[in-house]
Structure 1
């Protein structure tokens, strides 16, 4: 088993998110990272790992926890948030680049099938925050990221549209926060 940890590792939590009671195998990859959202440092030029662009929807000090479990050619991604706006629904997607000073710096949505905008080709992790300020979502994919092409998790101002409303498929409004995380992937063939 390979363990990639870019934050404090809570192994029990990571294994629980893998959705299996079977012991982790030698080829499994488990990645866990966490952060506290902070606003951009004024004049410092430093972009925090977890940055809030909208302090009303993502207050400074609120937290995000992300786990990625890989087994074979499939993966499970699990996120949990603490301290966000109770009752609010956030559209949350994996983006191609790390976070930056401008919300657009995170690039577009990661797409398994490039040019295809739907929940099968992209990673949509929408969640509604409960009365305690806790949000949680997970998604299982029968594919893996291409190495180096999934660089962040972006929280958007509303749930993701499937194209049945006035918004195009995949649209979730403004980017309100970003968490840079080097998701594990497979090298291009």
Structure 2
């Protein structure tokens, strides 16, 4: 809970009573590797804060191929926020790449914070902006060759290289797992 409170306080000031209210509305969840935080075809019903682990945003293209769009790491808000707020069906998945520890807020509890804490909307909006920015695909430029894309990934996400399955990295880079293995072998 300490990590969540420190994260929230980056975006605004809260008193002890407000912090206690936030803590009281939150629940903890352990999400096992490969399980989904939210799924396409369903209405997202929670906002999470990732305390430990890695989650990926992914979807299926019109050929049925799984595409990894982004990776979300510790100390980040995690939500399909636009669909969560609009109460509409999601078109993508948020899936645990590793075992994860999360702090969750249900829709009702999240909304209650808005109605109870003066200034929460401003704090929430800043957190959501950061969440949406992190989820927006900062993908490698497909016009670059695969080795360049992988080197860029290593530079931008050094902590992920040995934490998540290569199949997810390959999907993110837009290459096959075999191609990624060759690239990795040639770089060493």
| TM-score (normalised: structure 1) | 0.24
Larger relative helix fraction: 2
Larger relative strand fraction: 1
Larger relative contact order, structure 1 or 2 (CA cutoff 8 Å, min sep 6): 2
